[in-house]
Amino acid sequence: MPARNSYQAEKAVRTMRLARVVGNVVSTIKNEKYVGQKLMIVQYVDGSGEPDGSARVIVFDCADAGVGDLVLVNVDGGAAGMLLDECCVADYAICGVIDSLTFYDV
């Protein structure tokens, strides 16, 4: 049983990342499937909220986030299902705004 739990924890780490919203994207011309969808620019951060050195990315916003918010980003390619339908192309999506974050020594 412990191996299964560690596998699930490892998978969760790879599919969700902490990020800070640092900007938004305005696109007047886009595929009709994306009309009405909000795009944000995020910077991935470490557990202390500091940038982790990776490049900023553009993500769809499914959680009504704003600039400066700490968010949880789905990075496993399943973002399309959260957004529209399986016919759209979307690898990254903000799926939650984080109000507080606590780490415990375990």
What band does 8 get if pLDDT is binned at 50, 70 and 90?
low
Number of domains in the chain: 1
Residue labelled with tokens 């990020």: 19
pLDDT at position 13 is 54
Domain membership of residue 76 (yes or no) is yes
Residue 85: the pLDDT is 61
Residues 6+ apart with CB under 8 A from 61: 37, 38, 39, 40, 93, 94
C-alpha to C-alpha distance for 79 and 59, rounded to whole angstroms = 9
**Which domain range does residue 81 map to?**
16-97
Residue 1 confidence (pLDDT): 43
Residue with tokens 């620019």: 41
pTM to 2 decimal places: 0.79
Taking only the tens place, the pLDDT of each residue in 48-84 is: 889 999 999 999 998 999 999 999 998 877 666 666 5
CATH of the domain at 84: 2.40.50.220
Higher-pLDDT residue of 3 and 94 is 94
In a domain, 104, yes or no: no
Q: 36-45: per-residue pLDDT in tens?
A: 889 999 999 9
- Whether 103 is in a domain gets the answer no
Judge whether 8 lies within some domain.
Answer: no
- Could you tell me which residues come within 8 angstroms of residue 31 by beta carbon, excluding any fewer than 6 positions away? 88
> In the prediction, which pLDDT does 81 show?
67
Q: Is residue 102 part of a domain?
A: no
75-96: burial string, b at 16+ Cβ within 10 Å, e else: beeebbeebbeeeeebebbbbe
Three-state DSSP at 10 gives helix
For residue 7, tell me if it sits in a domain.
no
